[in-house]
Amino acid sequence: MISWAAREHHRFEAAGRPFVYLVPSAAIFALDDTADAIMRRLTERPYTREELEAELSERHGHEELDDTIHELARVRAIGELIVPGREDKPQPKIFPLTPFPLTTMVLNVTNQCNLSCTYCYEYSEDKIVDTENGKKPKFMSEETARQSVEFMLKESGDNKVAHITFFGGETLLNFPVLKKTIAYARQRGAEVGKEVDFSLTTNGTLLKPEIIEFLAENQVGVTISIDGPREVQDKFRVFHNGTGSYDVVAPKIQELLKRHRSRPIGARVTLTSGPLDIKRIYRHLTEEIGFWEVGFAPVTTSPNRGHAISEQGYDDMLGQFRDLAYEFLEYSVENRHHGFSNVKETLEEIHKGMSKAFPCGAGLGLMGVATDGDVALCHRFAGSDAHKLGTVADGIDRNAQHAFLDKHHIANKTDCSACWARPLCSGGCYHEAHTRYGETTRPNLHYCDWIRGWTDVCLQIYGELSERNPAFLAQFDDKMAAERVS
């Protein structure tokens, strides 16, 4: 006698009706009463057809039951109970076709910074590369930057658009090279028939009229690292002498926002220990300063540092994220803009049904270039010999890349194999894992509950939007976004 069992899924409710998020396909289906009744029973334990009939046919009818079982089986929400010894074959370890085109190149134009943010992953005790006394040049030369542009144009394959992101250190400390690189990449892009898109991340301290003018004119996307109102910003984001940076950056950012209207400008907030008031930070940065959008990221750190977020801190953060996400929902239902970018990014991934073999594009569609032209997994590893994937002069070391992908595939992360959130998380940030556990291969088990909680919130928002304003979700169709860098 065949017994039916629910396959891996996550049930959630939105707009008063039940949904299932299926794993590993990442497909979302809305259920009617019959489908929900069957799913709920099969989640408790396996049932035979007769047992389901005995419990459900009075209310749902024979034919309805059969139809529904058939539909659920068809989309693999349920399946025949697996007999020991005849388990499903493990998920095949599928690799993207190589050479995989590069979408985004992050150029670390300098590893120097004029701030001394206590939590900085590049300078604090958790740093990977010795940026003070190490062998890497402090600034990228014009020659290396040009080679990087050639590297990017070549490695982007058939892609029509190449994204170049300038990063640091403090990016604007090397503004002269940045400026020349943009001109050079524009010209070379036109020659080979590619559009080149530029963006940068900066702490805002060095913004001045001519720089702002240049960024606006060249449509350079700008992300500002800022933590919030004065008392929050000045807690960690300080100059070398310890003074806070808020009073320096706030007026400069307002200047930038006033002049630079060609691209939406976002703030990128690092969340740390201590009482968090995310809504207040959000309000300050959007309404008082004028940012178009704000993205939040918990600090990357070893667990024993003072600024590390505790387990309780993650719970608290989730509650506040949820409140802000529901505010985003209400705005979106009315087709009004809301700048909470975390929820928007996740909604896009949910909409497309992304099911990731790797947590991000690092080492695949995104790579970071160190000041000397060494190519690494991403900007956070730029300059680290242990995470090197080639050089801009010699190209990508395909063997190193393949070895990296083989080692970091989700199929290797046995801890993740029973988690319903793995299509979106895939074990989380390599750099976070390296800082926490000393190993890029480890899944980030310290924030699993947070990831599941946040994914659940975003699924609910998605479900609500699918019922209340499906047109809003159409904006994510066929949109190929560049990877975000933080």
Q: Give contact residues for other proteins (rule: CB under 8 A).
A: 2, 19, 22, 25-32, 34-35, 49-50, 53, 62, 64, 66-77, 350-353, 355, 462-463, 466, 477
In the block, tokens 């050089």 appear at 391
Of 295, 284, 179, the residue nearest 233 (C-alpha): 284
Give the residue with the Cβ less far from other proteins, 53 or 327: 53
Give the residue with the Cβ less far from other proteins, 19 or 381: 19
Give the residue with the Cβ less far from other proteins, 352 or 402: 352
What are 341's two structure tokens?
A: 């970018």
Q: Specify the amino acid at residue 81.
A: L
Of 420, 418, 419, 410, the residue nearest 442 (C-alpha): 410
In the complex, the smallest distance separating the C-beta of residue 203 from other proteins, rounded to whole angstroms, is: 37
Cβ neighbours of residue 148 closer than 8 Å, sequence gap 6 or more = 105, 107, 140, 181, 369, 373, 392
In the complex, the smallest distance separating the C-beta of residue 71 from other proteins, rounded to whole angstroms, is: 5
Q: What is the DSSP string of 89-158?
A: PPPP-----SSPPP-EEEEE-BS--SB--TT-TTTSTT-SS-TTTSSS-SB--HHHHHHHHHHHHHHTTT
In the complex, the smallest distance separating the C-beta of residue 69 from other proteins, rounded to whole angstroms, is: 6
Of 167, 162, 161, the residue nearest 151 (C-alpha): 162
In the complex, the smallest distance separating the C-beta of residue 92 from other proteins, rounded to whole angstroms, is: 17
In the complex, the smallest distance separating the C-beta of residue 339 from other proteins, rounded to whole angstroms, is: 23
Rounded CA gap, 72 and 90, in Å?
21
Look at strands 161-167 and 104-108 and give their pairing: parallel
Give the residue with the Cβ less far from other proteins, 71 or 483: 71
CA distances from 53 to 34, 39, 58 (A): 12, 14, 8
Cβ neighbours of residue 379 closer than 8 Å, sequence gap 6 or more = 106, 108, 165, 167, 368, 485
CA distances from 443 to 26, 101, 440, 472 (A): 20, 26, 8, 33
Give the residue with the Cβ less far from other proteins, 244 or 353: 353
In the complex, the smallest distance separating the C-beta of residue 351 from other proteins, rounded to whole angstroms, is: 5
Of 391, 381, 397, the residue nearest 99 (C-alpha): 397
Give the residue with the Cβ less far from other proteins, 386 or 481: 481
In the complex, the smallest distance separating the C-beta of residue 334 from other proteins, rounded to whole angstroms, is: 21
Give the residue with the Cβ less far from other proteins, 369 or 458: 458
Give the residue with the Cβ less far from other proteins, 352 or 407: 352
* DSSP SS3 for 18: strand
In the complex, the smallest distance separating the C-beta of residue 321 from other proteins, rounded to whole angstroms, is: 21
In the complex, the smallest distance separating the C-beta of residue 343 from other proteins, rounded to whole angstroms, is: 15
Give the residue with the Cβ less far from other proteins, 197 or 349: 349
Contact 203, 246 (CB under 8 A): no
Look at strands 221-225 and 195-202 and give their pairing: parallel
Give the residue with the Cβ less far from other proteins, 314 or 454: 454
* DSSP SS3 for 444: coil
Look at strands 293-298 and 266-271 and give their pairing: parallel
In the complex, the smallest distance separating the C-beta of residue 76 from other proteins, rounded to whole angstroms, is: 8
